[in-house]
Structure 1
Amino acid sequence: MGMRGIFNIVGVIAIIQGVVGFVGQMWFDSNWGFLHRLVDLPLWAYLGVAAAGLVVLLAADSTKKREDR
């Protein structure tokens, strides 16, 4: 597994943790996922974590397409 594979895994984990943390706080008034054990984030920051994971996935995909040319 190369660096692109590692970035894909990190991106997916960030998206999952961001979405799960947001859903848990927004609709169930509890902390879900692992991220809340490391840092105390406000509600909107969980969406930022998910967005950062999406950016990582898109960047890894665009470098793959660039290398395939």
Structure 2
Amino acid sequence: MRGFLGVVVVIQGLGGFVARVFFDTEWGLLRRWFDIPTPVYLAIAAAGVALLIWSDQDREKG
């Protein structure tokens, strides 16, 4: 479950960042709920990557 959530978070973070920087538009669900500065989208993507790594490490242990 964490792996799937990690993928969704990475997509939302990278999609939001790329849309603002390269296309000067808004993209994703987060923009509907929050007014997020552009650099925070990269932090969101990094949190998604951390979830993916955590999920993979748990899978290797168990």
Q: Is TM-score (shorter-chain normalized) higher than 0.5? A: yes
Q: Report which of the two structures shows the higher radius of gyration computed on alpha carbons.
A: 1
Q: Which residue of 2 aligns with 1:50?
A: 45
The code of the aligned residue for 1:28 comes to F
Unaligned runs of 5+ in 2: none
Unaligned runs of 5+ in 1: 1-5
Deviation for aligned residue 1:28: 1.0
Please provide the CA RMSD for this pair.
0.7
- Counterpart mapping for 1:1-69 below 5 A: 6-67=1-62
What is the aligned-residue identity percentage?
39
The total of aligned residue pairs comes to 62
For normalisation by structure 1, the TM-score amounts to 0.85
Runs of 4+ in structure 1 deviating by more than 6 angstroms, as ranges, are none
For normalisation by structure 2, the TM-score amounts to 0.94
